[in-house]
Amino acid sequence: MMSLNRKMDLELLEKLCLAHGVSGYEDEVADLIIDTIKDNCDTVMKDGVGNVIAFKKGKKTPKEPIMLCAHMDEVGFSVKHINDDGTLDFLEVGMSPTVLPSKRVLVGKNRIPGVISSRPVHLSPDKTHAVKQADLVIDIGAKDKAQAESLGVFGDYAAFDSDFTLLGDGLVKAKALDDRIGCAVMCMLSGCELENDVYFAFTVGEELGGTGATAATNRIKPGICLVLEGTTASDLYGYEEKDKVCKVRHGAVCPFMDGGTFYDNGLYKTILDLADKNSIKVQTKTKVAGGTDGARIQRCGKGTKVVALSLPCRYIHTSSSVASVEDMESILCLSKLFIGSI
């Protein structure tokens, strides 16, 4: 089995996770990816919406183009207003406000440190009240509005300030594992000898509805697409078995459907067969939840056959997602086998 458990590979994943790529601000991630794959692919370009599109020649040319897709953007924040006291009102992208109080963030390209602030629970008139977006601000330590404005933060993004950490026995803790794991896998595959020609689409705006996936699909016009993603793992205390969705350390997740897509049944079975024949761990979801770029890809043009492989992530869409290196390895191996099976 190909292994992600090598220093170089984990260093790549770490670089991708630590890069900032909040939806709408993916350039830092895109530049890192281009620098990583430019010598491995026949063509690499950035399209008008910010996607990175690469083509790699394989041993054979399939009847219809094969596309692998992973999104570059991550959940985060956009500064929408500066208050008189120098705190920042923000819009959140892709997460629940309840997970945000006290989280550290970095604002903009200058990485201005800040903390998400809210009224302390013990001072709230209703201690059962769930935190809402309107209750939260980013505190960057500015003494007033003028000082905050001088830093040029209005309209800029903020990303979680979170380390990449090896955790326990074979786990990783990081921000943005959704979907830097997909980006890392495609970067690694670009350096491999592949059985078929492949287009790699590193897309923007998945957390905002799939803008980049639509543009990439209209450009490439694939017959088949493999979406590489992160997905919710709730294998935690308090969840009933049917509500755990999927489990960390139980292999790559190959869903038969999600909240936006019914995946191609033939491709779904192909991945399960490849896993079985090659003794690779794979699982499916026990609950229809979430969504991927697959929904947009499936509906573009004349339609595309879509299948997905996802990394089970605990605490997804937070500053501290947790996932298994062994599960990453399963995605990498199955992706390469899938390309050769078409």
Question: Active-site residues: which are they?
Answer: 206
Q: Which residues contact 113 (CB under 8 A, 6 or more apart)?
A: 104, 105, 106, 107, 140, 141, 161
State both tokens at 160.
């979680």
State both tokens at 118.
């809210």
- Taking the CA atoms of the chain, what radius of gyration do you get in angstroms? 20
Residue tagged 């339609």 (tokens): 303
Q: How far apart are the first and last CA of the chain?
A: 20
**Distance in angstroms (rounded) separating the CA atoms of residues 308 and 301:** 19
**Distance in angstroms (rounded) separating the CA atoms of residues 159 and 51:** 20
The conformation of residue 131, written as its DSSP 8-state character, comes to: P
State both tokens at 25.
């601000």
Where does residue 306 fall: left (phi above 0), alpha (psi -120 to 50 degrees), or beta otherwise? beta
Dihedral of alpha carbons 32, 218, 308, 92, sign: positive
For residue 183, count other CB atoms closer than 10 A to its CB: 30
Q: Which residues contact 121 (CB under 8 A, 6 or more apart)?
A: 127
